[in-house]
Structure 1
């Protein structure tokens, strides 16, 4: 079993959870989705993330999704599983189950009740205690969690906990945070920094010292292309590619509608049999679908121009 380490890099796609129109899990679409992510250049997958509708799943459904994706991936890339939970008992139980299935590690976001650096550091100390030797990703997403994690707090956590191997960076604005964490002397080791927010700042994040992306934009090939061209030292090509996809990435970032847009794009691309969200969750209205269709057509035209 491959364990997540500080060397994690590339594109860890946040997997959507496909549903049928009646709200059942669509495992056939799940297979197509996994195949698409890997063909698009994903170096890892993250299952049961916030945009994977994890809170809408039962514990048995969560385990079934992980097991199914793990089987489809068949060891080709590491799998990270979102294990955030209101209590440590649930977190510990899910972690034990998915690690036994072969997961590489888990991702943990802070609960919204945390306010001070000491509270945040204490929480992650307890996370590490409950998870034991399991490596974990610290998800820093204040726009959703409401928890602001300072650079000094992150330094205390990563310097004290060897099982904290990766930061999922989704602060906004947050480019200065990447720079501060990469500054010599801030951390006692180099950790992996993978960025979210639908990839809308990915070129700048890579130049600031990020190792890649951990997010679920409906076109993961864009993120893989940006990361690969950055590695080659061709940021002009990376930015040209990024710019072509930016209108759709921006469209996906709308609060409340972003997941519906992402699933609709995946449906239009033939990856999902249905763009359905599990309730509560509303589909796109006809005008919004037409707007997305128009942007997809323009993207195809621009990609042909870029070869």
Structure 2
């Protein structure tokens, strides 16, 4: 629409130049020059806008054209992302979900057009497959490891938490839960930084990569795994929903950047402009205190419905 207005302005300015040029008199020459200058300026603005559009990365270009922010989000992980009931209907909530809605609002202002959000909720494998197929713009909550950065572009880190290990409550004092965890089977979510850190910290542990957090808990309860590794937020939800599980405090670890750089948004290279904008977005809402408020609000939304997926028998 803006370009159409500028094209119309060019025609109008051109008509003014031609009309004034047909008149005689020195005073008219000044007016003609002013109109010509205005026309030149309008052409320059239009050219600059066209150039800016051409230099947009794929995400921004798609947002401008279609107005939908396509988010790949790893589901069933309170308080990041979980389901609850609102007004009698199932609702996807969590502080990452709230963050994406806020991102859409600020993108609407930035791009001067309405931006809505579309969530693709799956596990790590499903989300990465969707990203590779260009079905989503990015995947949330992934750690920018050196290996991943060889293939994918990341924003700055927006969240980081302690690493915890969950076991059966009557097994938390297992004498094997020391040293390198030799003879201990540890399960974790496929592709997660939890697995990577466990391999570094406990090289003799036997690793099992599974899908969702509920799969990890079931593996521990069925004694197919001795421990389930996960972030502190997921661990808290897990033991709240399952009284027979507990965190092994002696194994809780505050990760250093060497092992856990935290998590950010993962997207295809070529979207450096969007990655920079998104990093600025997270910095802004953190400074404003909004990011912390979203996390508190998400915790307040936890109820029996939200914990249902964590209850495993």
**Range of TM-score over shorter length:** under 0.3
Structure richer in strand, relative to its length: 2
